Structure 1
Amino acid sequence: MPSPSVPLAKLGFLTIGSFDADDPRAGHETTLEVIELGERLGFDSAWLRHRHLQYGISSPVAVLAAASQRTSRIEFGTAVTPLGWENPLRLAEDLSTVDILSGGRVHPGVSVGPPMHFADVRETLYPDTADAEDFTYERVKRFVGLVRGDTASTFSGVEGIEQFSDRVQPHAPGLADRIWYGAASLNSARWAGEQGLNLLTSSVVKAFGPDDTDFAAIQHGQIEAFRSAHPDGAAARVSQGLVVIPTDSATAEQREKYTAYVDARTPRTAKPQGPANMLFAQDLVGTSDEIAERLYAHAAFRDVTEVVFALPFSFAAADYEQILTDIATKLGPALGWSPR
């Protein structure tokens, strides 16, 4: 296994927080317990993904507020919040509140574009304004500005016994510098750099065409474009988010389950999918040494010193405990990382 020339600096994990529709509290509690476990294992961060109208966490901000009161050190992120579902002012208020409650541990990750299945939800989500809503980068710029302290109202001052501010309250100093943009395309990565944001990469990229199948090379190019456009250049923060499943302490039954999960998802990685040419990365399953060797061979992994490894979707709590424990105690150290 090759030795790292630069140690991995930050190690996080991502979960969608699945739950049973007939007993949603249990799944939410499991998600909070996973975050608590992550803190005990020394992970730097725990991230939640929005799952609107699905059986996964639909309100990561609310769950992270709860997690902030059950932990003291681990940082929190959203990967990602699709802003097409959100009012930027209200989201800025909610995230600023959780950042204050957590002591400055929030890392909002956002993306743009129309909501998924927009034709099916537009009359519920935006019954009067659907045609007027702006789902472009401007929505991100509004959100970032409001978090930063831009004017949100033409009125401020005292009215009766109430005092009003003309900017989002509470104001969370430093939160704007911790905003990440989830980019899948080269243009999005470049735009995020121009805005001075941090870059979240994942296990999905937009290929240039149906014959473009080198995932690592595409992601490497996006990271280069981002840093070339960013004011901080090579020091601009980038986090990679592949799916890794170490098996060091797994039982034979778990290894069989994990292998079947990866095998079922591998065919979609052979070529770009759909009219948008979305290309998926292969999930990495095996011992920590085997996974580390494959990561060091990955052109985009060699560009980063931060990762947020994505947990598989519908595994049992015991599986997540085993996977997270192996990542923290085996894979992370193999990549030069040390627990906090």
Structure 2
Amino acid sequence: MKKKIGFLSFGHWSPSPHSQTRSASDALLQSIDLAVAAEGVGADGAYFRVHHFARQLASPFPLLAAVGARTSRIEIGTGVIDMRYENPLYMAEDAGAADLISGGRLQLGISRGSPEQVIEGYRYFGHVPAEGTDHADMAREHAAIFLNVISGEGFAEPNPRPMFPNPPGLLRIEPHSPGLRDRIWWGAGTRSSAEWVAEQGMNLMSSTLLTEDTGVPFHQLQAEQIQRFRDRWAEAGHDREPRVSVSRSIFPITSDLDRAYFGQEARSEDQVGFIDGGQARFGKTYAGEPEQLVRDLAEDEAIAAADTLLLTVPNQLGVDYNAHVLENVMTHLAPALGWH
């Protein structure tokens, strides 16, 4: 299957002398530069993780708008925005603006979010679950409101004496970007949540972590998740084809520097652990000579089932090195595997 290939950056920064990304300014500006470089080597997307209260990328829309203004072809997106923290109407305005600036290239990944840096951090942002519900319910409620308002239907009663003339009828969120509703993704960590995503008519985003484990290899469990998503999508009768992305850490070793950084990862295997109080399975890192990686990746059932592959990048190694990694994948792996 032909695939769109992009990168996914967490945007870490650290004052350590071993980091090439030592401040928030570095993380933001280098993210823009890496997106430009990725477009230059033929990649298809620039995606960014969102974490609050951390030395990582947080507020995504200024960054997405800047990337959209500096590039012309690649998709720009998130993987993922924690909906527990979001004002869905304000978010709809930001998303509409970023999408219009990019010419309709926004691919917005949202979700319940991951374990937080602080206890119930969403409360500091003014969001509290309604009585009888929890934080996951609140995230889905915020998402439902967001999906509804970006559809472009009017819902707000106009002022009979407005400062500026109104169009007839109820008013919608502006700016409105047509088609954005079909480019919303939900990051699902289980097979059952992927089925829920399909019912909502969102695209599926699946990472290198699943918050369940059945004893089978990670890629097989993820392939089952994708199949359940597609089956439920067909049952729901949506009138478009869905998209599915998976994330992977892939490092072709073509130089001594690659070997120094990732040579030990050639023996990487899946890991099983605990997250949020439950068992989870983490996918392995793919690192090795290009010929061996072609053989290994050809056996990854989840990559085969997805239309989009997001490559996690070690952003603190700098723009030039990460552009080199992306170019290696596009040059040595993608053609041999029929991805691109």
1: CA distance between counterparts of 2:205 and 2:194?
A: 9
Gaps of 5+ in 1: 1-5
Pairing 1:169–2:174 present: yes
Pairing 1:221–2:224 present: yes
Aligned position for 2:331 = 329
3-state SS of 1:279 partner: strand
Supply the AA of the counterpart residue of 2:146. Answer: F
Which moved further from structure 2: 71-80 or 322-331?
322-331
Asked whether the 8 Å contact 2:34–2:323 carries over to 1, the reply is yes
1:199-226 deviation line (CA, Å, top 9, x unaligned)? 11110112246xx252122111111110
1:253-285 deviation line (CA, Å, top 9, x unaligned)? 33122234677xx57x33232432121000111
3-state SS of 2:262 partner: helix
Instruction: Give the counterpart of 2:13 among 19, 30, 33.
Output: 19
Asked whether the 8 Å contact 1:18–1:314 carries over to 2, the reply is yes
Compute the TM-score of the two structures, normalised by the length of structure 1. 0.86
2: CA distance between counterparts of 1:272 and 1:23?
A: 31
Which moved further from structure 2: 305-314 or 294-303?
305-314
Residues 188 and 309 of structure 1: is their aligned pair in 2 closer, same or farther, counting only changes over 3 Å?
same
Deviation at 1:30, TM superposition (A): 1.2
Aligned position for 1:253 = 257
1:90-109 deviation line (CA, Å, top 9, x unaligned)? 11110110101111010110
1: CA distance between counterparts of 2:325 and 2:106?
A: 24
Aligned position for 2:209 = 204
Asked whether the 8 Å contact 1:20–1:27 carries over to 2, the reply is no
Residues 192 and 310 of structure 1: is their aligned pair in 2 closer, same or farther, counting only changes over 3 Å?
same
Deviation at 1:13, TM superposition (A): 1.2
Supply the AA of the counterpart residue of 2:326. Answer: L
Aligned position for 1:240 = 246
Which moved further from structure 2: 57-66 or 108-117?
108-117
Supply the AA of the counterpart residue of 1:85. Answer: Y
Asked whether the 8 Å contact 2:83–2:139 carries over to 1, the reply is no
2: CA distance between counterparts of 1:108 and 1:176?
A: 9
Residues 202 and 14 of structure 1: is their aligned pair in 2 closer, same or farther, counting only changes over 3 Å?
same
Compute the TM-score of the two structures, normalised by the length of structure 2. 0.86
2: CA distance between counterparts of 1:159 and 1:235?
A: 42
What is the aligned-residue identity percentage?
A: 28
Pairing 1:273–2:274 present: yes
Supply the AA of the counterpart residue of 2:248. Answer: L
Asked whether the 8 Å contact 1:15–1:49 carries over to 2, the reply is yes
Aligned position for 1:3 = none
2: CA distance between counterparts of 1:120 and 1:138?
A: 17
Which moved further from structure 2: 313-322 or 294-303?
313-322
Supply the AA of the counterpart residue of 1:68. Answer: G
Aligned position for 2:147 = 144
Residues 303 and 123 of structure 1: is their aligned pair in 2 closer, same or farther, counting only changes over 3 Å?
closer
Supply the AA of the counterpart residue of 1:258. Answer: F
3-state SS of 2:281 partner: strand
Instruction: Give the counterpart of 1:295 among 297, 300, 306.
Output: 297
Summarize the alignment of residues 302-317 of structure 1 with structure 2, pairs less than 5 Å apart: 302-312=304-314, 314-317=316-319
Deviation at 1:23, TM superposition (A): 3.6
Supply the AA of the counterpart residue of 2:226. Answer: I
Residues 309 and 145 of structure 1: is their aligned pair in 2 closer, same or farther, counting only changes over 3 Å?
same
Aligned position for 2:320 = 318
